Amino acid sequence: MIYHKPLKIKDGDLIKSATVENNQIFILARQAVYYFFKNSEKRRILLPGYLPEGVYFPFSELGFKKMYYAVGSDFSLPDDFPGSRSADDTIIYYIHHFGLYNQKNIDKLKQLKSQGYYIVEDRALTLPSADADYFGDATVYSYNKMLGVPHGGTIISDINTEDYSLEKNSAAEELKSYLSLRMNLFCRSGIKLMPQLFFRLYNKIAWKFINRKANNLSHWLPATGLADSAIVHLIQNLDFQSISEKIIYNAGYLFDNIRPVLRLVPDRRMYTRQAITGFPIIVDDPQDLQKYLMKNGIHGFSLRQGWRPAQNASKWDYFDKHFLLPVHNDLSKKDLKKIVRVVNAYKNAR
């Protein structure tokens, strides 16, 4: 039996997660999704209109008929969701954008599930935790984004009994070495705030290398492979619960101290129910902020690359202003204070 919920043990403490214990971990989540749906009888997928390439590519590669639903500026589902699509042939794909928790969406999806819809819950930008409100038939995790490990992604379902025995191949090995280089370039840096000179130099060199490699690997699906056993072991033994709690604390701290005008959504509960990948803020020029933060040794993340609006372009104007501040569990109180001070000063100066 495979659980796609974390295993709660005594006193509510979560030490190990069945999620990762019983399931195969691929190099990337998109590869797991690709394999999982390869033989699916359903061939139509209802995707959010604001989505990353890692979600788009597996379904387009598999030749699914892709349909999109509108994503509100607070990530709410449309009132008439899912429209006239039937539960028989359409899979609903729901992303917890940035890991934000949206109670209204979840209530709606639970109701749809009880009506027979097959629902994929994308938790790539959050972590398994004891308090998470699970509802999907299958759940996606991308540990490389959240845990400071270079690779590791999976999809979990109660009916997933497939045992993938994937041959080692050179493309997969190349992908893994490239991912280890990339690791520190995301918002979840896996390191503390760094001295600015080193950080900028590192970024410059690594990006050069990465861009070249990324082209060769063509969306990374052909380089499918399983995660290295050392990474799997690490993931299996991490205490997700305490990592989530620390991230939630960090997010709450930023919520309370960042100037309110910067917050993406005003509801504190959306940031503090489950781990988020980065604290989302709204600024006119995310790249300008990114540079400013980098000068101050703070590693934030602008979403311009890799995320796409599938619907009308006017929505993109809004989403184009998203920026993620670091909240990962290695940050100290001093780091958090610095982030608040620097970001608030930036806002005051502009």
Ligand X SMILES: Cc1ncc(COP(=O)(O)O)c(C=O)c1O
The rounded distance, in Å, linking the Cα atoms of 41 and 172 is 28
Residue 30, interface with ligand X (CB under 6 A)? yes
Which residues 79-138 are close enough to bind ligand X by CB under 6 A?
Answer: 95, 122, 124-125
Residues whose CB falls within 8 Å of the CB of residue 54, separated by 6 or more in sequence, listed in order = 28, 29, 30, 124, 142, 306
Specify the residue for token string 């509960």.
Answer: 269
Choices 48-56, 72-80, 191-199, 204-212 (CB under 6 A): range interacting with ligand X: 48-56
Binder of ligand X out of 126, 144, 250, 302 (CB under 6 A): 144
- Using the rule CB under 6 A, which residue among 49, 52, 280, 300 binds ligand X? 52
56 vs 255 by CB, closer to ligand X: 56
Among 28, 275, 293, 298, binds ligand X (CB under 6 A): 28
What is the distance between the alpha carbons of residues 228 and 281, in angstroms, rounded to a whole number?
35
Find the length of the chain.
350
Dist CA 284 CA 104 (whole Å): 28
Among 6, 49, 54, 297, binds ligand X (CB under 6 A): 54
Backbone angles phi, psi at 295, to 5 degrees: -60, -25
Nearer to ligand X, 223 or 342 (CB): 223
Q: Which of 128, 153, 280, 300 binds ligand X (CB under 6 A)?
A: 153
**Region binding ligand X by CB under 6 A among candidate stretches 13-21, 35-43, 60-68, 139-147:** 139-147
Task: Name every residue whose Cβ is closer than 8 Å to that of residue 57 and which is 6 or more positions away in sequence.
Answer: 30, 219, 220, 221
Stretch that binds ligand X, among 5-13, 26-34, 85-93, 229-237 (CB under 6 A): 26-34
Q: Are the CB atoms for 82 and 118 separated by under 8 Å?
A: no
- Compute the least distance from the CB of residue 346 to ligand X, in Å: 25
CB 69 within 8 A of CB 77: yes
**With binding defined as CB under 6 A, does residue 29 bind ligand X?**
yes
The C-alpha angle with vertex 52 and arms to 141 and 320, in degrees rounded to 5, equals: 130
Q: Tell me the closest approach of the beta carbon of residue 289 to ligand X, in angstroms.
A: 20
Residues that bind ligand X (CB under 6 A): 28-30, 52, 54-55, 95, 122, 124-125, 140, 142, 144, 153
